[in-house]
């Protein structure tokens, strides 16, 4: 208005009145040129502003309508954050290994003003670590040190409350094993970077990564506990140096329990085993059930019998003279408690006669023995979902002396896993199936191959039952559950020779014998006789009673109903015809 | 002409507002969803922790120690399992429920397995009755 009034003093003029130019326009003059320049400048400036507003409008459109390049949260497309390792559960769904989310604590030592004070406060906030440890870490020269790789939410809050600058957290995950040492060798453990190193964690490391569903094992925590508890108890009672055992379903090959002692706590590998304080970490990590191969002793006679009966070399009525020891190539084969008379095949087995077994094997010959042992999977490395699977050891030259000693389980070593798997095939009707630590769906029997006939399998069952009824395994009798089994006492090899009083006592137990379902194989390393066992440390005194207690406790859990073993249905099915209704003289 | 211009202007403004409205609503929902998802992840983590703790507290050796201290239960022996409940027969003639004493009837009716009044019982043995009761649960 003020500017306008300069040109037009009359307020009554119409608004659109165009004031006359202040100077007459004369073409071609300097004034006109100056005006032209002014116009061009206005135009350029206007164009610039238009461009600027266009950019702003464009950006507004972009921000408001198109989202402006800011990542909007998308439903369904974002993966739900998962633990990087799938949990592991037992056959009943109990959680045996799981990954927990938490935080890791790290520090930038340059930002820590008083390392000694901070270390002391940290040690108070995080129990289980010394102030010296933190002080040492905090005095390092770098810009990053780990202080603790996993903190529980509670610990995280405590460290936060310290309010120390220079300490910070990173998201972290830790593997946790709720059952501690109970499933040590079966489940295994992981290293600090969450890589599986042993057990199923190691063997199925790849499958566990990037898996949503929990991995279900064939192990049953309850059976595992009973086996673990009993092995520990008996190992203590007889001051054994080590022990191992497994429970297997003979019809599916599932391993229901797998124990090796001394063992370890996968949560704290360094914590010593309270019952075996002298055991080293290496000793505790060693899996005696699947990795260690041992001369198992007389349990091996069951394979000798299966070979001899299945090939037709001997019958149940055959007799062999066990009066005198066998002398061959500087060795003497004797019986532990010899009967010094001719023995029938069932007697040889029930009294565990080495002489008789050696003679039976000799009658079969080396080739047949090798063929059958190979068929039973005792000469090859088995498969299992663990990295710790041992190989058998056997002589390269299979001479007659080897034939004879192998007949009673000396001069050949196998893992407990192999022995349990082969023995399962002998009692389940003759089908050898791969052993597994993963649950087999109910009602499904994995593919197997026939290794002996059904008739031979039935004879083996009768022989195993005879051992517990009359023979060396009488302490394994669990009334009602019709246990069958075979003792095995081997002298341990020490400094290249058999040590007379350093034993390995084991027992193979199967129940119920009229319809075999479950197999229990236990082994005790260097047990020592005590007053209760009258100084004996042999399998019949150590491993057989342990098997009885295990059977009595697990049978109700497995739904095996007790039966009357004297009833005609049971006794008749397991009677040996050649004994003509009588038993044999008790061992 | 002028009317249509005004009309279309109003229309443009209206659709513009509507579009913005929907857009912001969607953004709000997405933010809500993201929050729910993160809450769910936290809950899942919490469940994992609790499951681990539950299994830790239910270790067989802990239970055995607690049992020793408070209950002194012992494992079942074969002798206790000698006779199965299924071995016990029911009475020869089925008893109509009407004749049964009244206090027992409501409990059975709750389980949903009591035969209707007047009709003979379908179950033959106690074992079968027990089995049907467990199934009904």
Task: Spell out the domain ranges in chain A.
Answer: 88-217, 224-268+289-576
Tell me whether domains A88-217 and A224-268+289-576 share a fold: no
CA distance, residue A546 to nearest chain B CA (Å): 15
CB contact under 8 A, B75 and A78: no
CB nearest to A561's CB, from B37, B54, B84: B84
CA distance, residue B5 to nearest chain A CA (Å): 23
Phi, psi of A284 (to 5 degrees): -75, -30
Give chain B as a 3 state SS string: CHHHHHHHHHHHHHHHHHHHHHHHHHHHHHHHHHHHHHHHHHHHHHHHHHHHHHHHHCCHHHHHHHHHHHHCCCCCCHHHHCCCHHHCECCCCCCCHHHCCCCHHHHHHHHCCCCCCCCCCCCCEHHHHHHHHHHHC
* B22-55 pLDDT tens trace: 989 999 999 999 999 989 988 888 888 899 999 9
Per-residue pLDDT at A100: 86
- Whole-Å CA distances, A279 to A238, A270, A447, A527: 17, 11, 40, 16
Contacts of A165 (CB under 8 A, 6+ apart): A111
Q: Cα angle at A348 between A344 and A354, to 5 degrees?
A: 135
| DSSP one-letter string for A517-559 | -EEEEEEEES----TTTTT--SHHHHHHHHHHHHHHHHHHHHT
Interface test with A, best of B17, B28, B47, B60 (most A CBs within 10 A): B60
Q: Cα angle at A72 between A71 and A77, to 5 degrees?
A: 100
The torsion angle over the Cα atoms of residues A369, A374, A380 and A383, rounded to 10 degrees, is -140
CB contact under 8 A, B78 and A178: no
Contacts of A107 (CB under 8 A, 6+ apart): A137, A138, A144, A145, A147, A166, A167, A168
> On the CB side of A76, how many CA atoms lie within 13 Å of its CA?
0
**Catalytic residue chosen out of the listed positions A218, A298, A424, A505:** A298
CA distance, residue B35 to nearest chain A CA (Å): 10
- ipTM of this complex prediction, to 2 decimal places: 0.74
Per-residue pLDDT at A151: 83
Q: Are A505 and A489 in contact (CB under 8 A)?
A: yes
For B84, the closest chain A residue by CA position comes to A561
Q: Are A483 and A554 in contact (CB under 8 A)?
A: no
Distance, CA of A306 to CA of A288 (rounded, Å) = 26
Nearest to A461 by CA among A521, A512, A531: A512
What top-level class would CATH report for the domain A88-217?
alpha beta
Nearest to A510 by CA among A302, A290, A295: A302
Per-residue pLDDT at A553: 93
Helix (H) or strand (E) holding A476: none
For B31, the closest chain A residue by CA position comes to A73
Q: Spell B50-82 as b/e; 16+ CB within 10 A means b.
A: ebbeebbeebbeeeeeeeeeeeeeeeeebeeee
Contacts of A293 (CB under 8 A, 6+ apart): A390, A391, A392, A393, A413, A414, A415, A418
Q: Are A346 and A578 in contact (CB under 8 A)?
A: yes
For A99, the closest chain B residue by CA position comes to B48
* A163-185 pLDDT tens trace: 888 888 888 888 999 999 999 99
Chain B residues near residue A481 by CB distance under 8 angstroms: 78
Mean per-residue pLDDT over chain B, rounded:
76
Residues of chain A with pLDDT under 50: 1, 4-5, 73, 75-80
CB nearest to B41's CB, from A81, A225, A478: A81
Contacts of A518 (CB under 8 A, 6+ apart): A247, A248, A249, A250, A256, A510, A511, A554, A558, A560
Judged by DSSP in three states, A104 sits in strand
Helix (H) or strand (E) holding A36: helix A30-61
* pLDDT confidence bin for B121, thresholds 50/70/90: very low
Per-residue pLDDT at B81: 80
Distance, CA of A11 to CA of B129 (rounded, Å) = 112
CB nearest to B37's CB, from A78, A95, A481: A78
* B58-68 pLDDT tens trace: 999 999 999 99
A464: tokens are 């195993």
- Whole-Å CA distances, A116 to A125, A138, A159: 14, 8, 16
The alpha helices in A110-183, defined as continuous H runs, are 115-125, 131-138, 153-162
For residue A223, count CB atoms less than 10 angstroms from its CB and return exposed for 0-12, middle for 13-18, buried for 19 or more.
buried
CB nearest to B51's CB, from A95, A229, A555: A95
Nearest to A523 by CA among A354, A298, A203, A349: A298
For residue A92, count CB atoms less than 10 angstroms from its CB and return exposed for 0-12, middle for 13-18, buried for 19 or more.
exposed
CA distance, residue B83 to nearest chain A CA (Å): 9
Contacts of A577 (CB under 8 A, 6+ apart): A316
Judged by DSSP in three states, A257 sits in strand
Beta bridge partners of A174: A100
| DSSP one-letter string for A402-464 | HHHHHHTT-S-BEEHHHHHHHHHHHHTTSEE---BSBPPPTT-----EE-S-HHHHHHHHHHH
Only one residue has tokens 């165009």, namely A18
Helix (H) or strand (E) holding A173: strand A167-176
For B39, the closest chain A residue by CA position comes to A80
Phi, psi of A171 (to 5 degrees): -60, 140
Q: Cα angle at A57 between A52 and A58, to 5 degrees?
A: 95
Q: Cα angle at A523 between B63 and A336, to 5 degrees?
A: 140
For A88, the closest chain B residue by CA position comes to B52
Q: Are A229 and A554 in contact (CB under 8 A)?
A: no
B interface residues, A as partner, C-beta within 8 Å:
19-20, 23, 27, 30-31, 33-34, 37, 40-41, 44-45, 48-49, 51-56, 58-61, 64, 75-79, 81-82, 84
Q: Cα angle at A369 between A365 and A374, to 5 degrees?
A: 155
What top-level class would CATH report for the domain A224-268+289-576?
alpha beta
CB contact under 8 A, B23 and A176: no
Nearest to A542 by CA among A246, A231, A262, A290: A231
Chain B residues near residue A99 by CB distance under 8 angstroms: 48
CB pairs under 8 A between A and B: 80
Catalytic residue flag (residue A298): yes
CA distance, residue B11 to nearest chain A CA (Å): 18
CB nearest to B52's CB, from A74, A178, A182: A178
Judged by DSSP in three states, A141 sits in coil
A76: tokens are 């369904």
- Whole-Å CA distances, A233 to A229, A239, A415, A505, A545: 6, 10, 23, 15, 12
Per-residue pLDDT at B111: 43
Per-residue pLDDT at B126: 59
Helix (H) or strand (E) holding A150: strand A145-151
Q: Is A297 left (phi over 0), alpha (psi -120 to 50) or beta?
A: left
Chain A residues near residue B20 by CB distance under 8 angstroms: 64
CB contact under 8 A, B59 and A83: no
Judged by DSSP in three states, A42 sits in helix
Distance, CA of A545 to CA of A552 (rounded, Å) = 11
For B59, the closest chain A residue by CA position comes to A179
Chain A residues near residue B81 by CB distance under 8 angstroms: 480, 556, 561-562
Distance, CA of B70 to CA of A400 (rounded, Å) = 62
């Amino acid at each position: 208005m003020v500017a306008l009034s300069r040109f037009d003093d009359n307020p009554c003029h119409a608004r659109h009145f165009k004031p006359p130019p202040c100077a007459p326009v004369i073409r071609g003059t300097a004034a006109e040129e100056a005006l032209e320049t002014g116009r061009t400048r206005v135009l350029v400036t206007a164009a610039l502003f238009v461009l600027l507003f266009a950019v702003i409008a464009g950006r507004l459109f972009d921000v408001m309508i198109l989202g402006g390049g800011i990542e909007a949260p998308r439903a369904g497309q974002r993966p739900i954050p998962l633990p990087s390792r799938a949990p592991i559960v037992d056959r009943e769904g109990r959680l045996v290994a799981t990954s927990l989310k938490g935080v890791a604590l790290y520090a930038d030592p340059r930002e820590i003003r008083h390392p000694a004070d901070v270390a002391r406060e940290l040690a108070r906030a995080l129990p289980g670590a010394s102030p010296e440890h933190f002080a040492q870490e905090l005095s390092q020269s770098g810009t990053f040190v780990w202080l603790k790789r996993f903190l529980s939410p509670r610990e995280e809050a405590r460290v936060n409350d310290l309010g120390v600058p220079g300490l910070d957290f990173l998201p972290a995950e830790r593997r946790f094993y709720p059952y501690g040492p109970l499933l040590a060798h079966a489940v295994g453990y992981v290293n600090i970077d969450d890589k599986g190193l042993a057990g199923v964690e190691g063997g199925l490391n790849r499958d566990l990564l990037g898996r949503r569903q929990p991995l279900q094992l064939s192990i049953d925590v309850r059976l595992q506990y009973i086996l673990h508890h009993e092995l520990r108890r008996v190992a203590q009672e007889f001051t054994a140096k080590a022990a191992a055992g497994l429970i297997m379903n003979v019809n599916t090959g599932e391993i229901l329990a797998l124990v090796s002692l001394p063992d370890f706590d996968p949560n704290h590998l360094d914590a010593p085993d309270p019952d075996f304080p002298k055991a080293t970490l290496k000793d505790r990590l060693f899996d005696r059930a699947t990795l260690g191969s041992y001369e198992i002793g007389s349990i091996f006679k069951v394979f000798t019998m299966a070979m001899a009966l299945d090939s037709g070399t001997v019958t149940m009525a055959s007799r062999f003279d066990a009066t005198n020891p066998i002398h061959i190539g500087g060795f003497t084969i004797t019986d532990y408690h010899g009967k010094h008379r001719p023995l029938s095949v069932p007697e040889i087995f029930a009294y565990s006669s080495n002489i008789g077994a050696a003679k039976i094997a000799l009658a079969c010959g080396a080739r047949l023995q090798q063929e059958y042992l190979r068929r039973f999977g005792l000469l090859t490395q088995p498969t299992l979902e663990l990295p710790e699977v041992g190989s058998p050891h056997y002589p390269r030259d299979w001479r007659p002396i080897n034939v004879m000693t192998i007949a009673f389980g000396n001069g050949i070593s196998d893992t407990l896993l192999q022995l349990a798997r082969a023995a399962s095939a002998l009692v389940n009707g003759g089908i050898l199936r791969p052993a597994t630590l993963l649950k087999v769906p109910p009602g499904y029997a994995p593919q197997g191959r026939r290794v002996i006939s059904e008739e031979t399998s039935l004879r083996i069952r009768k022989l195993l039952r005879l051992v517990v009824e009359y023979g060396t395994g009488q302490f394994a009798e669990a009334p009602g559950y019709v246990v069958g089994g075979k003792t095995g006492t081997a002298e341990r090899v020490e400094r290249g020779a058999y040590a007379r009083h350093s034993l390995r006592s084991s027992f193979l137990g199967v129940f119920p014998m009229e319809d075999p379902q479950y197999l229990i194989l236990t082994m005790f390393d260097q047990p020592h006789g005590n007053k209760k066992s009258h100084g004996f440390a042999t399998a019949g005194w150590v491993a057989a009673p342990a098997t009885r207690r295990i059977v009595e406790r697990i049978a109700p859990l497995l739904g095996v109903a007790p039966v009357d073993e004297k009833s005609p249905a049971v006794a008749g099915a397991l009677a040996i015809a050649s004994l003509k209704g009588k038993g044999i003289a008790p061992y | 002409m002028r009317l249509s211009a005004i009309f279309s202007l109003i229309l443009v403004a209206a659709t513009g507002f509507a579009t913005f409205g929907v857009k912001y609503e969607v953004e709000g929902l997405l933010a809500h969803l993201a929050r729910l998802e993160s809450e769910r992840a936290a809950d899942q983590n919490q469940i994992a922790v609790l499951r681990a703790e539950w299994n830790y507290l239910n270790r067989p050796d802990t239970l055995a120690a607690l049992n020793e201290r408070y209950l002194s239960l012992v494992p079942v022996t074969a002798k206790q399992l000698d006779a199965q409940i299924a071995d016990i027969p029911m009475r020869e003639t089925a008893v109509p429920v009407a004749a049964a004493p009244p206090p027992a009837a409501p409990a059975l009716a709750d389980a949903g397995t009591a035969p209707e009044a007047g009709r003979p019982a379908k179950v033959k043995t106690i074992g079968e009755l027990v089995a049907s009761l467990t199934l009904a649960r």
